[in-house]
Amino acid sequence: MSENAVNIFEKKAEEMTAMNIISPSDTFTLTAGGTVMLDHEGTRYNRVKIVRLFPFSDADRYLSVRDHDDSDREIGIIEDLELMNKESRDVIRHQLDLCYFTPVINKIMNIKDEYGFAYFHVMTDKGECRFAINMGSNAVTKLSDTRLIIMDIDENRFEIRDVEALSQKEKRMLDLFL
């Protein structure tokens, strides 16, 4: 009878190391409730979660698809979002947009510092917004020389894709945090 249990672990180990690929023909659909459903190799997964494996360096490739109802077990990996059919792609894009909420800052209107906090007023791809960062902490992370992630006091993330693309005036305002 102990054989059985050992087999369970063997199987688990196998599952753990296997790399399943989600083929472009698998379909992702949005359910009425607003979640994502996947049909993959004849199985229907009621609710899947899509996780970016390289959120910064390769956001649209290597997406891990996980089964929400089976404690987030990996169903497979999407190698390239571009290769999926359009309907699935749109569903996934939409889902990623909602679950990875990282507004990209396009324009800095103003930065004001007061008592150890800096108040940003910016225009992002998600709309205009204001947020505050703690100047004492490492709120600004450099992904590269020109790419920044800013974490506000609520732990929201904001991204600046290319510092060099900002105007001189904006850069000067930002300088204190670089």
Partner 1 sequence: MILKYELPKNTEKLIALKDNEKIYYAVPIDIDENGRWTDDSFLVVTTGRVCVIRNNSLTEYDIPDFDRAYAEPGIGGGLLTLRKGDETCVLAHYSSKHLARYAYIARGINILISGRYEEVISTEYERTCPKCGRAIPGTKTCPHCTGTGGFLSVFMKLVRSYKRGFILAFILMILAAVTTLLNPEIQKRLINDVLKGNGDMKTALIFLGMMFFLSVAIVIVNVAKSNATARLGSTIAADLRAQLFDKYQKLPLSFINDRRPGELLNRITQDTRFISDFMADVFCNLFAVFFIFIWDVIFMMILNLKLALLTFILIPIVSAVIFTFRKTISRIFHLQYKKNDDVASDLQDVISGMRTVKSYGREKDESEKFKTVSGSFAIVQKKNERFWGMFDFLISFLMGMGLVIVVYFGGLDVLGDKMSAGELYQFITYTLLMFQYVGWLGRLPRELSRLTSSLERIYDVLAQTAEEETGEEKDIDIKGEITFDHATFGYKSYQPVLEDINAVIKPGEMIGIVGASGTGKSTLINLLMRLYETDDGRILVDGCDMKDISRKSYHSQLGVVLQETFLFSGTILDNIRFSKPDASEEEIIRAAKLANAHDFITALPDGYNTYVGEKGYTLSGGERQRIAIARAILPDPRILILDEATASLDTESEFMIQKALERLTRGKTTFAIAHRLSTLKNADRIMVIDGHRIAEIGTHRELLDKKGIYYNLFTAQMS
Q: Which residues bind partner 1 (CB under 8 A)?
A: 1-2, 4-6, 8-9, 31, 33-35, 46-47, 55, 69, 94, 97-103, 114-117, 119, 124, 126-130, 132, 134, 136-137, 153-157, 175-176, 178
Number of residues assigned to the chain? 178
Between residues 143 and 178, which has the closer beta carbon with respect to partner 1? Answer: 178
Closest CB 139 distance from partner 1, rounded Å = 11
Phi then psi for residue 6, to 5 deg, are: -60, -40
In the complex, what is the shortest distance from the CB of residue 177 to partner 1, in angstroms, rounded to a whole number?
9
CB closer to partner 1, 34 vs 42: 34
Q: Is 83 helix (H, G, I), strand (E, B) or coil?
A: helix
Token pair recorded at residue 17: 């190391």
3-state secondary structure of 43: strand
Q: Which is nearer to partner 1, 23 or 97 (CB)?
A: 97
Report whether 121 contacts 110 (CB < 8 A): yes
Least Å from the CB of residue 3 to partner 1 = 8
Q: From residue 174, how far is each of 92, 146, 169 by CA, in Å?
A: 34, 12, 9
